[in-house]
Structure 1
Amino acid sequence: MSATGARPGRRTGRDETEEERADRMWVELIQEVRVAQTGVQILFGFLLTVVFTPRFLQLEDAERSIYIVTVVLGACATGALIGPVSLHRLVAGRRVKPQAVRWAAKLTVVGLVLLLATMASSLLLILRVATHGAFVPWLVSAVVAWYLLCWFALPLWARRRHTTR
């Protein structure tokens, strides 16, 4: 086996050291997090303003509870998706970049799960207030299933199907 852990004669697809791989993966991760951060920050900012509208005082207790849960989920999603930036800053120069990339990737997945929960909760609140229809939970469930398919099932399927390791 070579220094990179690959068998002689077998191409790994990239000729990079562990540190170079960590650098590349960090750049890729931060680009991905930027997309998710923007979405969660816009949603969270919107949620923070809802409580100051006149309509908020007219909400039923159930809707207020959903709102509180939604705001807390949004705050947690924001924290998890900003976490990789803080992690990088606090461990920079400590020679732990490969580990930091793995930790940041896990924080990002947690942030995406929390963002999914925030989106579902927001949708539930909005549709309950807008329609009071019995179909609302079914519609929200369908949207959650769509998110699960797009954000997790398809990527995990592709990883399983196309990973050569």
Structure 2
Amino acid sequence: MSDTPGTPAAEDGQVRRRGRNETEEERADRMWVELIQEVRVAQMGVQILFGFLLTVVFTPKYDDLSGTDQTIYIVTVVLGACATGVLIGPVSLHRLVSGRRIKPQAVTWAARMTLLGLVLLLLTTCASLLLILRVATGDGYVPYLVAGVVFWYLLWWFGLPMWVRYRYTTR
């Protein structure tokens, strides 16, 4: 066995280390760069979706929507605005705390904001899909179709990552 806790012993007697040999600040810097790359992808998606949503109210078709569809639209726009705000939040957080030597805490909060942003993006996307399919088809199967898409997103965005986290995290 290894003399170092958490470090497995190699068959040849050599110690093989897992993970990186980095300080807390170096780890925070690396995690920040990774997080910002992830946020860029989500920001682009939510901003494009939100931009399209903002234009709907100015089309002639909007006046023809039922009260329920207009309510779904309003909820969708508010969700999109919230998702946009929270996914841009890590940039503001970084700018306001930069140089204060609290990057590890900033990374933790930015990661939380990003996760919330993904949940709001999921809700915005599914509400948009609900509205579009209701207007396009008016059929009773639409809620079931949207529920299937919600399940699909939950599986790939949260289910699989949580399974991988559980399956491969060293205990």
* TM-score bracket, shorter-length normalisation: over 0.9
**2-side partners of 1:74 and 1:57: how far apart?**
21
Could you tell me which residue of structure 2 aligns to residue 100 of structure 1? Answer: 106
Identify which of 153, 162, 167 aligns with 1:147.
153
**1:107-126 residue pairs with structure 2 within 5 A?**
107-126=113-132
Q: TM-score, normalised by structure 1?
A: 0.94
What letter matches 2:155 in structure 1? L
Deviation, 1:64, is 0.2
**Structure 1 vs Structure 2: percent identity of aligned residues?**
73
Residues 75-110 of structure 1 deviation map (CA, whole Å, 9 limit, x = unaligned): 000011000000000000001000000000000000
Partner Cα distance (1:159, 1:89) in 2:
30
Q: Report the CA distance between 1:141 and its aligned residue.
A: 0.1
CA apart distance, 1:119: 0.5
* Inter-partner Cα distance in structure 2 for 1:8 and 1:30: 30
Q: CA–CA distance in 2 between the matches of 1:87 and 1:161?
A: 32
CA distance in 2, matches of 1:69, 1:63: 10
Specify the structure having the higher radius of gyration (Cα): 2
**Structure 1, unaligned runs of 5 or more:** 1-5
* Pair 1:38-2:36 in alignment: no
SS, match of residue 30 in structure 2? helix
Amino acid at match of 1:63: D
Tell me the CA shift for residue 164 of structure 1: 1.4
- Where does structure 2 lack aligned partners over 5 or more consecutive residues? 9-16
**Count of equivalent residues:** 160
Task: List aligned pairs for 1:1-150, cutoff 5 A.
Answer: 7=5, 11-150=17-156
Instruction: Quote the Cα distance in structure 2 between the aligned partners of 1:96 and 1:69.
Output: 36
Q: 2: distance between equivalents of 1:107 and 1:123?
A: 24
- The whole-number CA distance in structure 2 between the counterparts of 1:93 and 1:37 is 25
Whether 2:156 is the aligned partner of 1:158: answer no
Q: One-letter code of the match for 2:115?
A: V
Cα offsets for 1:99-144 (capped at 9, x unmatched): 0000000000000000000011000000000000000000000000
How far apart are the structure 2 equivalents of 1:8 and 1:110? Answer: 32
User: What value does the CA root-mean-square deviation take over the aligned residues?
Assistant: 1.2
Using structure 2 for the length normalisation, give the TM-score.
Answer: 0.91
Give me the whole-angstrom Cα distance separating, in 1, the residues matched to 2:103 and 2:23: 12
